[in-house]
Amino acid sequence: MRAGARRRDARRRLRAGRRAGGGPEAVVLADDGDWIGRIASAGPREARDDVEFCDPFVVLYTSGTTGMPKGVPVTHAHAITAGGVWAEFMGLGVQDRLYTCLPFFHINATAYSLSGALVSGAALAVGPHFSARAFWDDVAALGATQINGMGSMVKILQGRDPHPAERAHGARMMFLAPLPPDAAELAERFALEFTTTYAQTEWLPSSLTRPGEGYDRPGGTGLVLPCTEVAIVGERDELLPRGTVGEIALRTHEPFTAFTGYLGRPQESLEAFRNLRFHSGDLGELSEDGWLYFRGRAKDVIRRRGENISAMVLEDLVAGHPDIVEVAAVPVPSQLMEDEVFVYVIVREGAELAPDALLAFTREILPRHMVPMFADFVDDLPRTATNKVAKTVLRERAERAVREGTVRALG
């Protein structure tokens, strides 16, 4: 049976099961005959009594968006605590069915979808991969009440023409990071509410928003949670006052519920966990009312004309153009020392955007030092295995394009 036919047959059987008042506790929408298709029918195994809460549950790898991926042994305590905190904050229970199409080598699917279902008693629905065309049909067919995703997935769905399936799915919330700048409009379009968090492969969720919260707080990731301590530190690890951007540094309150070291990389582990705090490599700030704001990767900063430019902020602002679906900004060497700004732009299907129009738009909305020098209009962006934009690949491409003269300066 072909993959498409298998998916349609799975949806038909799932709908029939719900009409009869039944339905499996775990459902898998498989597109092949591989191991994933056997998860739904797997029986329980005898519990082991030699496993401790501090033992590794799984080794997950960081995304590698700005460098080489690193292996992170995730303990049982880490995974279960993360799932429990998240499920409680989301208000999940036995009445829910959690949908994910993310790979289980990603912390989102493992610590939130899987652990969240185990802790809350909710059912788990697993899609084989992300498909923009089939996404809402899969969510509806599997009877999902909650969806786990990535910010890039929403960007792709947003770029498609509106369709009735976007609102006929039955899910009430979607958990993703980061929260899109136009979350309120997308929530209305997709008939659900968004939630977000600040977390990493190495760490528990440090902050969370409740469904529908934080739409008017750009970069906001919610109130800091009781399970962790968040500090904003400067270049010498000094504590910075609230409202000041610095590196996000973390401590946990319970043993073995977070980062214990990178697999086979003791020196990098020591560097990351210096001065009794885990240094996230992310930029952020704490507000007076206790919200944590994410301001981008510390390594994802472009230095131009003596100013530091957050690539994330620049990308969000340029993506505000009605004909732009997604933007990725990277630095390229400047003849004047420091960097120039190079942006990759994906234009909405059926739309046209000339380089001159892009330049005029950026000059209107951006400070002078943030206006891109170069732009490349592309159909897609290279991504890591966890669907994040691969900035290292883009930087290499951009530097080569400028060096070889295959891209022209704007203006």
Strand pairing of 203-208 and 324-333?
Answer: unpaired
Its pTM stands at: 0.74
Per the omega criterion (within 30 degrees of 0), is the bond before 178 cis?
yes
Phi, psi of 199 (to 5 degrees): -160, 165
> Can you give the pLDDT at residue 306?
67
- Tell me how many degrees the CA angle 372-343-70 measures, rounded to the nearest 5: 130
Distance CA 280, CA 260 (A): 13
Torsion of CA 126, 131, 136, 141, to 10 degrees: -40
Fold of 301-404: GMP Synthetase; Chain A, domain 3 (3.30.300)
Buried b (16+ CB within 10 A) or exposed e, 98-111: bbbbbeeebbbbbb
Torsion of CA 100, 101, 105, 107, to 10 degrees: -40
> Can you give the pLDDT at residue 17?
40
Distance CA 387, CA 373 (A): 27
* Region of residue 171 (left: phi > 0; alpha: psi -120 to 50; beta: else): beta
Instruction: Output 129-132 pairs: Cβ under 8 A, ≥24 positions apart.
Output: 129/31, 129/101, 130/101, 130/102, 130/156, 130/387, 131/101, 132/156, 132/157, 132/160
Distance CA 230, CA 238 (A): 13
Distance CA 87, CA 83 (A): 6
Q: Hey, CA dihedral for 102, 108, 111, 116, is it positive or negative? A: negative
Fold of 3-218: Rossmann fold (3.40.50)
Cβ-based neighbour number of residue 289 at 10 Å: 7
Cβ-based neighbour number of residue 214 at 10 Å: 22
The answer to whether the CB of 86 falls within 8 A of the CB of 199 is: no
Residue spans of the chain under pLDDT 70: 1-45, 63-68, 306, 336-337
The separation between CA 57 and the C-alpha centre of its own chain, rounded to angstroms, equals 22
* Closest residue by Cα to residue 223 from 243, 209, 204, 205: 209
Distance CA 290, CA 310 (A): 22
Domain locations along the chain: 3-218, 301-404
The answer to whether the CB of 378 falls within 8 A of the CB of 58 is: no
**Whether the domain at 3-218 and the domain at 301-404 fall into the same CATH topology:** no
